Chain A
Amino acid sequence: MSLDFLLHYGGRRLRQYVEQPLLESPPEEDEEEEQKVALDFELPPDAWQPRTIAADVIDPATMPQRFIDGCHYGQTAAWLRDSLGHPIPVRLAEIGGVCMHVDGRSLRRQFAHVERIVCLIVDPFPWHEVEEFAASLAGIDMRLLPALPPIIDDVRQLTYDYASMEQRTYTQAQVEMRVLEELALSQAPDTLSLVDGPLGRYEHAQAIGVVKQHRKDYLGPNPKCWQVFYNLEPGQRTPAFRLATQSSPIVSWFLKLQGAHGAMPNWGIIRIEISSAHFEHQGSDFDYLDRLSNALLHLRCRQSSYARAPVSMEPIVRAEESLKSLLTPPATLAQRFYHLTGL
Chain B
Amino acid sequence: MSQADDRVVIGGAIQRLFDAAGLPWPPPARRTVTPVPLDTLIQAYNLTHDEVPALSRAAAGAYLARWGVHRPELLEDAAPLAGFLFANAHGGYILVNAGDPLPRRRFTAAHELGHYLLHFLPRLQAARDVETSLVLHDNGDTVREEDKEMSLPEMERQANQFAAELLMPETVCRTATHLYAARFRTPARFLEHHLAGDLLVSRDAMRWRLRNLNLTN
Q: Taking beta carbons and an 8 Å cutoff, which residues of A are in contact with B?
A: 111, 113, 122-123, 125-128, 130-132, 134-135, 138-139, 143-146, 148, 156, 176, 179-180, 182-183, 186-187, 189, 201
Which A residues are CB-close (under 8 A) to B186? 183, 186
Q: Are B190 and A127 in contact (CB under 8 A)?
A: no
Minimum CB–CB distance for A335 against chain B, Å:
23
- B106 sits at the interface (CB 8 A): yes
10 interchain pairs, CB-CB under 8 A: A122-B200, A127-B38, A127-B106, A128-B37, A146-B103, A179-B189, A180-B190, A182-B190, A183-B190, A187-B185
Q: Are A130 and B102 in contact (CB under 8 A)?
A: yes
Choose among B185, B187, B200 the residue that contacts A130 (Cβ–Cβ < 8 A): B200
Given the known interface contacts A130-B102, A138-B34, the answer about A143 and B187 at a Cβ–Cβ threshold of 8 Å is no
Q: Taking beta carbons and an 8 Å cutoff, which residues of B are in contact with A?
A: 32-39, 51, 101-103, 105-106, 109, 184-187, 189-190, 193-194, 197-198, 200
Minimum CB–CB distance for A213 against chain B, Å:
22
Which A residues are CB-close (under 8 A) to B189? 179, 182, 201
Given the known interface contacts A127-B102, A134-B198, A182-B190, the answer about A111 and B32 at a Cβ–Cβ threshold of 8 Å is no
Q: Are A135 and B34 in contact (CB under 8 A)?
A: yes
Q: Are B187 and A144 in contact (CB under 8 A)?
A: no
Which A residues are CB-close (under 8 A) to B187? 182-183, 186
Minimum CB–CB distance for A33 against chain B, Å:
14
Minimum CB–CB distance for B47 against chain A, Å:
13
Which A residues are CB-close (under 8 A) to B102? 122-123, 125, 127, 130, 146
C-alpha gap A130/B200 in the complex (Å): 9
Which B residues are CB-close (under 8 A) to A131? 34-39, 200
Q: Are A187 and B38 in contact (CB under 8 A)?
A: no
Q: Are B32 and A138 in contact (CB under 8 A)?
A: yes
Q: Are B197 and A128 in contact (CB under 8 A)?
A: no
C-alpha gap A201/B189 in the complex (Å): 9
Which A residues are CB-close (under 8 A) to B33? 138
Choose among B38, B105, B190, B197 the residue that contacts A144 (Cβ–Cβ < 8 A): B197
Choose among B32, B38, B106, B197 the residue that contacts A145 (Cβ–Cβ < 8 A): B197
Q: Are A179 and B193 in contact (CB under 8 A)?
A: yes
Q: Are A134 and B200 in contact (CB under 8 A)?
A: yes
Minimum CB–CB distance for B44 against chain A, Å:
13
